[in-house]
Amino acid sequence: MQILKNRAFSIIEILIVIVIVVVFVVIAYPQVTNYLTDREVKKEVYKLVNYIEEKKAEAVSGKYAMAWIWISGKSTGQSQSWTMSNEEWALQMKVPAPARTAQNRLSSYNNKSILNHGRGCGSSASGYNNEGTQYYTKNSDTFSWSSKVTSSNKHLCIDKDGIISTDGENQNGIEGKLWMIVCSTSNTGPQYSKLCYWNRDKINHRYIIKVDLGTKIKVYKYNIKNDKWVLQK
């Protein structure tokens, strides 16, 4: 009789343990999944930040004067990387500038090149000027996302003097113009209603990269619990 009681007690103990394990898995699994997903997105965000910082260091060191990069929002997209030589930069910044740098319309730009007059990052780096001379040289050193993330398609200029600005977007909750939003493919895209974009659905695993004049970078993470964008350290 005592043996039967012990056996029954052991079975009850096993069932209790199984129930505890099941409850733990049900509760903990989503948390673990969220953590791993967010870690993957964060890893990719800072991979891009490091890529930009490397380009900035190369420009400041004199390897070239400016880098123009275009980041595809998909891992299968064709990102681009172009650089402007120090010699071409000097001509672009010269006043009066060579006529070719202003499409032979210097008077329209106060005798400055279009780049120096507006000091904005052009949407393309592949064009040629009127004399057939290319402003930029195309490079193979491009950036690409992993298949775990997606982003907005964006270009950026990184110059040695920190004077060229890049257009940005507006996002509720963050002051100023912002450069790029990055999301997880686990809960965004490719359908239009689920695209990774500004001021869209309030979902987890979203990061924003802000690039101020001089290539000063700030990273924000969306806190869905508090519905707030939080500046990262």
pLDDT digits (tens, 9 = 90+) for 22-43: 555 556 556 667 888 999 999 9
Across the strands, what pairs with 217?
211
Q: What is the mean pLDDT of residues 174-182?
A: 94
Q: pLDDT at position 59, please?
A: 98
Q: Note if the pTM is more than 0.95.
A: no
Average pLDDT, integer, range 182-187: 93
SS3 call for 213: coil
What pLDDT does residue 28 have? 53
pLDDT at 160: 97
Tell me the C-alpha distance between 181 and 154, whole Å: 10
Digit-coded pLDDT (tens) for 105-154? 999 999 999 999 999 998 888 765 556 678 999 999 999 999 999 998 99
CA gap 86, 53 in Å, rounded: 19
Residue 33 has a pLDDT of 79
Strand pairing category for 180-184 and 207-212: antiparallel
